[in-house]
């Protein structure tokens, strides 16, 4: 058994960006590393440097032709018209940038390493992971690779068969659904905003029997997530009896995110994770979406606290406040006058609200279909 939770990170996230106009121009993983260290939560013995996955590891799922094209695009900092159309590289969503192979390969390497470490029971955190849209032969939705699929394949390679994947990112994990369609030893549970890109994951879509998809309406709040957690997620996991749970905790489902329209607080993410932890001997927590640098940093740092059982302070000490005060969100109105609590706290105020009939009806439908 792992002696304590492990955090897998890398400095590549600090110095790379998708470009000044892209939603992933903001710092995320590096800020989580800095904030956790400022809080005294990340001693050296808890930290592992993410390796960069080699092409041979990536072609366990991705096509060799695509990996070659991705490496070539980074080297040349350009793609042909044919490659752009075939591999979706050099597009607005998946731009050319200096580390466009090395950065996602580092994320994938961290998630593959996590699968190796979790041959033993324990908890591992890879905030740079969660790139759940990547397809076998093309980039998709800001995701050049699919580290989630590669992490699950790594767990399997290390003897873990029954794996549950729980995804509460605002966007449906279409790449993971492709990767494990119809696999009886995988249970994929996705809670995502309805009618949001990629507009997959309809409630009727069970991915060949391996998935539970719950699209939720705009304004989805903490009270509704609590109901979903207690009436759908936990019963499904208890019935499935996983050997490992992979949890994708994209930060774009909180109310301050600029790309989605849900209304969760970060308490909802931490509460889901805390409820998952007793249900499997192995927990792998991944990052994912999230495009407001303050909400991502605060939420994902709280994920690390939850994995360790650390108390989240009501008021942050000065070194932690300095990390958050050093962030910028250029080019967006949210960055012009950020509220004071984004600098002084981790925990949001809970966003409780009414439970809408449509949420309750969808949960009941999925419970009946899944025999819960």
Pairwise CA distance, residues 127 & 32, whole Å: 8
275 and 226 Cβ atoms separated by less than 8 Å: no
CB atoms within 10 A of CB 238: 11
Structure tokens belonging to residue 235: 């019963």
Element (H, E) at 245: strand 244-248
The pLDDT of residue 331 is above 80: no
Residue 15 confidence (pLDDT) above 90: no
Q: Closest Cα to residue 305, out of 337, 260, 273?
A: 273
299, 284, 218: which is closest to 28 by C-alpha?
299
Cβ neighbours for 56, distance < 8 A, ≥ 6 positions apart = none
76 has a pLDDT exceeding 80: yes
Alpha carbon of 50 to those of 145, 146, 331: distances in Å?
15, 16, 31
Tens digit of each residue's pLDDT (9 = 90 or more) over 178-218: 999 999 999 999 999 999 999 999 999 999 999 999 999 99
* CA distances from residue 37 to 294, 313, 323 in whole angstroms, order as listed: 16, 14, 10
The string of pLDDT tens digits covering residues 249-308 is 999 999 999 999 999 999 999 999 999 999 999 999 999 999 999 999 999 999 999 999
Q: What structural domains does the chain harbor?
A: 6-370 (3.40.800.20)
Q: Tell me what pLDDT residue 330 has.
A: 81
Give the span between the Cα atoms of 270 and 23, in whole angstroms. 24
pLDDT one-digit tens code per residue, 265-278 = 999 999 999 999 99
Q: What is the largest CA-CA distance in the chain?
A: 54
pLDDT, residue 77, reads 98
């Amino acid at each position: 058994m792992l002696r304590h939770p492990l955090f897998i990170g890398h400095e590549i996230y600090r110095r790379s960006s998708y470009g000044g106009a892209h939603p992933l121009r903001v710092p995320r993983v590096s800020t989580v590393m800095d904030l956790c260290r400022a809080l005294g939560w990340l001693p050296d013995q808890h930290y592992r440097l993410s390796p960069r996955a080699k092409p041979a590891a990536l072609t366990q799922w991705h096509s060799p032709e695509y990996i070659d094209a991705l490496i070539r695009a980074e080297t040349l900092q350009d793609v042909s018209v044919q490659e752009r159309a075939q591999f979706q590289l050099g597009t607005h969503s998946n731009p050319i940038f200096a580390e466009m192979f090395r950065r996602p390969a580092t994320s994938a390497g961290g998630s593959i390493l996590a699968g190796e470490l979790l041959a033993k029971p324990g908890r591992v955190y890879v905030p740079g992971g969660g790139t759940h849209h990547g397809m076998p032969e093309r980039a998709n939705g800001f995701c050049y690779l699919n580290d989630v699929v590669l992490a699950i394949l790594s767990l399997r390679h290390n003897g873990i068969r029954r794996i549950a994947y729980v995804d509460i990112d605002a966007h449906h994990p279409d790449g993971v659904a492709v990767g494990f369609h119809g696999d009886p030893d995988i249970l994929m549970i996705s809670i995502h905003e309805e009618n949001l890109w990629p507009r997959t994951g309809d409630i009727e879509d069970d991915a060949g029997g391996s998935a539970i998809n719950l699209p939720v309406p705009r304004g989805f709040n903490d009270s509704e997530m609590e109901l979903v957690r207690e009436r759908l997620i936990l019963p499904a996991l208890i019935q499935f009896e996983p050997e490992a749970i992979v949890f994708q905790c994209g930060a774009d489902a909180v109310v301050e995110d600029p790309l989605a329209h849900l209304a969760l607080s970060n308490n909802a993410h931490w509460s889901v994770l805390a409820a998952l932890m007793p249900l499997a001997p192995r927990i792998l927590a991944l990052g994912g979406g999230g495009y407001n640098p303050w909400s991502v940093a605060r939420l994902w740092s709280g994920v690390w606290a939850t994995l360790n059982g650390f108390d989240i302070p009501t008021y942050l000490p000065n070194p932690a406040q300095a990390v958050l005060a050093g962030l910028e969100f250029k080019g967006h109105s949210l960055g012009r006058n950020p509220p004071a609590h984004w600098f002084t706290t981790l925990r949001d105020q809970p966003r409780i609200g009414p439970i809408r009939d449509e949420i309750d009806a969808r949960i009941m439908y999925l419970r009946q279909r899944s025999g819960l």
